[in-house]
A and B are shown apart, each in its own frame.
Chain A
Amino acid sequence: MSVTVSTIADPLGTKLIIDSNCNATPEQDVTGTDTTIIYAIEIDNTANTTLPTYVKLWNNDNAASGTTMPTLQFRVAAGAKETYVIGTGTSDVFVELSFWAVKSPYALSADDSDAAVSPASTVPVKILCT
Chain B
Amino acid sequence: MSLKVSGFSGSALDYKIVYFDNQNTPTAAIQENVTGTSGRWYSVDIDNKSGSPVYLRLYDGLDAVLGTTASHWGFMCKASTFERIEIPGGAPFATALNLWTTSGDDPKDNTAPASSGVVVTVVCS
State the A residues within 8 Å of B (CB).
52, 54, 69-77, 80, 82-88, 90-92, 104-108, 111-112
User: 1/0 per position for B88-104, CB-CB distance to A under 8 A?
Assistant: 11011010000000001
Residues of B within 8 A of A (CB): 48, 53, 60, 70-78, 81-89, 91-92, 94, 104-108
State the CA gap A77–B72 with chains docked (Å): 11
User: Secondary structure of the B side of the interface?
Assistant: strand
Using Cβ atoms and an 8 Å threshold, which residues of chain A touch B108? 106-107, 111
B92 near A70 (CB under 8 angstroms)? no
- Known A72-B74, A88-B83: A83·B88 in contact at CB below 8 Å: yes
State whether B87 touches A83 (Cβ < 8 A): yes
Q: Which residue of the partner chain, among B76, B89, B107, contacts A105 with CB atoms under 8 Å? A: B107
Q: Given contact pairs A90-B83, A107-B108, enumerate 9 new A-B contacts (beta carbons under 8 Å).
A: A71-B76, A72-B75, A77-B92, A82-B87, A85-B86, A91-B77, A91-B81, A105-B107, A106-B70
